[in-house]
Structure 1
Amino acid sequence: MLKEINLHSKTLPARHHLPRSSLSLMIQISRSEMNAKHNPGQFQKGLIPWNKGMRGLPSKGRMQDTQFRPGNQPANWKPVGSTRINVEGYVEIKIAEGKNKYRLLHREVWKQHHGSYPPRSHVLIFINGNRQDCDINNLKLVTRKELMAMNTVHRLPENLKKVIRLKGVLKRKINGK
């Protein structure tokens, strides 16, 4: 009697009339039968899929008219050698096709004139302070220690150093630290 009832049919005439233990038994039998048989939604071994050898899905409607074709370039494409300015104000040059293929122009200019990039212990600075002026005469190689000394409070006049220190004291008093 239990094998005659199909649990997966839309109409289960006797399901709600069975006692709970019979219902759980029927579910266990149904599951074991499903595991023993082939699941109709499962892809059988050895079958060839309908889309074998196809690239992508078949186009429908206007989809084919509006897709990219081989050789098309996106609207924001730039050729190798083109420049851009990054968020920090440095000029970058495109060195190759692909993503993230930009390098800082002033480092490339330095490499062109000196044969290699500056060592990691040194940095390039712009003599006139303009980050977009990448002329070799505007670039200066300094050590990181020299750069720190250039940009520290100790190079300022004594009265200005005193004002900066007092400002720090005042901020700490206001913030309660």
Structure 2
Amino acid sequence: MNVKYTHEMLEWLSLNRTLEINDYAKQFNIAFNCDKTPGQLHSLRKRKKWKTGRNGQFKKGNIPLPNARPKGPNKTSFKKGLTPPKWRKVGTEVITPDGFRKIKVAEPNSWNLIHVKNWEEANGKIPQGMVFLFKDGNQLNCDISNLELITRAEHLRLNQHNYKQSYEELRPTILCIVKLESKAFNLASGK
């Protein structure tokens, strides 16, 4: 229902617009013997673009409520000296979800893949753009004789030839064919 406000009502509302909305509605209803809800008067204030002087920001010198600060864990949850249940000591070996073995080399959480560590101890740093090939297809066999560095292009071709699913007797042949294909492609493309 469209209710008209008299000139006196609008003048009173404009003069008292800085009141908190519940007090605003209560005093208005008493003064003019009306039954307006705080929502109706709030909408009127917005339509008339009357500012209340409050913008939602804290003023300088504001004292926050005692419980209005970020909470941390309670004081008894974490006692000093206790180690988390997932903590592992240096030298611990685990298997990653991808199936590789890794070893903890330092605190707090420094891990190295064992096959990378073995290769770098024997042959030095891994060149850029090279990946490891486990000759027997077993990622848990990190012996240096089972490791070989191949290019990413050769790795792509090995995956195309289903190297991991092939018979163990055919793997050296597939590897030679892949290296030959990769070399031929590089020569043909002028790389």
TM-score with structure 1 setting the length: 0.54
Give the drift of 1:126: 1.9
What's the counterpart of residue 86 of structure 1? Answer: 96
1:52-67 alignment to 2 at 5 Å? 57=71, 63-65=74-76, 67=77
What's the counterpart of residue 147 of structure 2? Answer: 139
1:22-171 alignment to 2 at 5 Å? 27=45, 31-32=50-51, 34-35=52-53, 43-47=58-62, 57=71, 63-65=74-76, 67-98=77-108, 101-116=110-125, 118-148=126-156, 150-153=158-161
Identity %: 29
Give the drift of 1:131: 0.9
Give the drift of 1:110: 0.7
Once residues 79 and 141 of structure 2 are traced to their aligned partners in structure 1, the CA distance between those partners, rounded to angstroms, is 40
Give the drift of 1:133: 1.5
Counterparts in 2 of 1:110 and 1:154: CA distance versus 1, 3 Å: closer
Q: Matched residue of 2:34: which SS? A: helix
Q: Matched residue of 2:122: which SS? A: helix
Once residues 108 and 50 of structure 2 are traced to their aligned partners in structure 1, the CA distance between those partners, rounded to angstroms, is 53
Q: Which runs of 5+ in 1 are unaligned?
A: 158-177
